[in-house]
Amino acid sequence: MYTIIDIETTGGKYNEEGITEIAILKYDGEKVVDKFVSLVNPERRIQSYVARLTGIDNEVVLHAPKFYQLAKRIVEITEGTSIVAHNAAFDYRMLRTEFQRLGYEFERPTLCTVALSKRLLPGMDSYSLGKLVKQLGIPLNGRHRAEGDAQATVKLFEMLLNKDTTRNIIAQAKTGQPKKQKDSKLIKLMQDLPSAVGVYYFHDEDGKIIYVGKSGNIKKRINQHFTNDQPKAREMQKAVEKLSYERTGNELIALLKEEQSIKEIQPEFNQALRNKVYSHGLFLDKSPEYHQLYIKKLKDEEQPLMAFKNHQQARKVVSNFVEDYQLCPQLAGVEKKRSGACFNYGIDACKGACIAKESAETYNARLKQLTDRWNFDHKNFLLIDRGRFHHEKSLVHVKDGEVRGFAYFDLNLQITDRSILERIITPIAYQGHARQLVKSYIRKNEKRIKMIEL
């Protein structure tokens, strides 16, 4: 749990400043679940240049509550959370200074979105909040006012969490809660999990990720983990001390994030999932006069037209291609070759390539329509799908045939402005099965998803 904070101050000498406005947004990693915003009477003069910048002058805060009147609410809303702020050292220092004036030691873990942005968004023109969010297409209403800046910081932090593929932010944000008792640990870990599609992470007592998984229903899948009596599952149940998860909105991004995370993090309980995802592939042989499709077991580094988890799945898909494109099942590898016409020719479902009644030129042209559809080489497009929440959508970016990355967006501006698009995308460094994951997803969902060619 996080509390995103923004503070406006009087300005002045170091450690002599006072708070004039504070905004605290409690964020659970998905949405804001609580909010506290208030002007504050700093009991000292506001510097004129600060008043011009923020619009908060001495008259505005004259009848506002003083800090001691707000202190209890601030303690309560930040309890058990990590404080997140843009230049967290400043905001955290101001809070601690005000509490110290009351004789209270205020201590919370902190995360700084400036430092995180420099690590996860290298090469930006500026890391000031206003310029940074503009470069990322994040709306900012009420610049230099606490609530407006805090809301923009929430959206920025959400993007940074998404780009943090190794989950270092989660590991850093240990809240110091007492360790759960073993007898009730798993039940407590299950509380408040969503029945949503996404990726989930099991952490040990040091915050290290020991397992990564994906599911169309996170809560149901984790419950299966915790009720499994197999020795390996029981070993993992004993080791897990913390859960974290990310909604992805759709299965494709969940698959991409799962594979990327396992490759980058190498969790100890994911050994089995490092094996091949796909066992068979569909290839095209252009050497015969009539070009032929064939299915075979995949070898490392091979890039088939399409990949499948098993031979049965491959045959089923290719049989559909045969029907859709009126191909010969013998030449497509789903019917045993024999002399004479194929079975489909007898029912007018094959144009006779198997007995040379259809010309090789027209048959190969129809086959080319199929292969061009699924050959990603040099293709550039965005795959638009559901987002995590009703107000957003997701995209997967394919550039020059490679899966470049994914992102979430609220405004069409973020995908129509090419410079913003480049910045908001979370890159896929490990290609692995990424291209085949995208092809498989398109094949299953092409009636619902939208493709924008670039």
At 183, the pLDDT band (50, 70, 90 cuts) reads very low
> What is the model's pLDDT at position 4?
97
Residue 276 in this model has a pLDDT that exceeds 80: no
Residue 206 in this model has a pLDDT that exceeds 60: yes
At 212, the pLDDT band (50, 70, 90 cuts) reads very high
> What is the model's pLDDT at position 274?
53
What does the pLDDT average to over 366-388? 91
Q: How many CA atoms lie within 13 A of 60 on its CB side?
A: 14
> What is the model's pLDDT at position 417?
87
Domain residue limits, the chain = 2-170, 179-273, 280-374, 381-453
Q: Which CATH architecture has domain 179-273?
A: 3-Layer(aba) Sandwich (3.40)
Which range has the worst mean pLDDT, 262-276, 295-309, 325-339, 389-403? 262-276
- Residue 6: strand, helix, or coil: strand
What mean pLDDT, rounded, does the chain reach? 90
Residue 361 in this model has a pLDDT that exceeds 50: yes
CB 106 within 8 A of CB 75: yes
- Residue 3: strand, helix, or coil: strand
Task: For residue range 390-408, list pLDDT tens digits in order.
Answer: 889 999 999 998 999 999 9
Task: For residue range 120-175, list pLDDT tens digits in order.
Answer: 999 898 999 999 999 999 988 888 899 999 999 999 999 999 888 888 777 766 44
> What is the model's pLDDT at position 418?
86
> What is the model's pLDDT at position 182?
38
CB 130 within 8 A of CB 143: yes
Task: For residue range 20-71, list pLDDT tens digits in order.
Answer: 999 999 999 889 999 999 999 999 999 999 999 999 999 999 999 999 999 9
- CATH, domain range 2-170: 3.30.420.10
> What is the model's pLDDT at position 275?
57
Q: How many CA atoms lie within 13 A of 416 on its CB side?
A: 4
Q: Which residues are CB-contacts of 10 (< 8 A; sequence separation ≥ 6)?
A: 17, 18, 19, 20, 42, 44, 45, 46, 47, 50
> What is the model's pLDDT at position 152?
95
- Tell me whether domains 2-170 and 179-273 share a fold: no
At 233, the pLDDT band (50, 70, 90 cuts) reads confident
At 228, the pLDDT band (50, 70, 90 cuts) reads confident
- Residue 281: strand, helix, or coil: strand
Residue 67 to residue 362: CA distance in whole angstroms? 81
> What is the model's pLDDT at position 180?
40
Q: Nearest-CA neighbor of 262 among 128, 183, 139, 166? A: 166
> What is the model's pLDDT at position 189?
85
Do β-strands 402-409 and 381-386 pair in parallel, antiparallel, or remain unpaired? unpaired
- Residue 138: strand, helix, or coil: coil
Residue 70 to residue 341: CA distance in whole angstroms? 86
Residue 163 to residue 92: CA distance in whole angstroms? 25
State the helix-helix crossing angle for 146-163 and 113-120, rounded to 10 degrees: 40
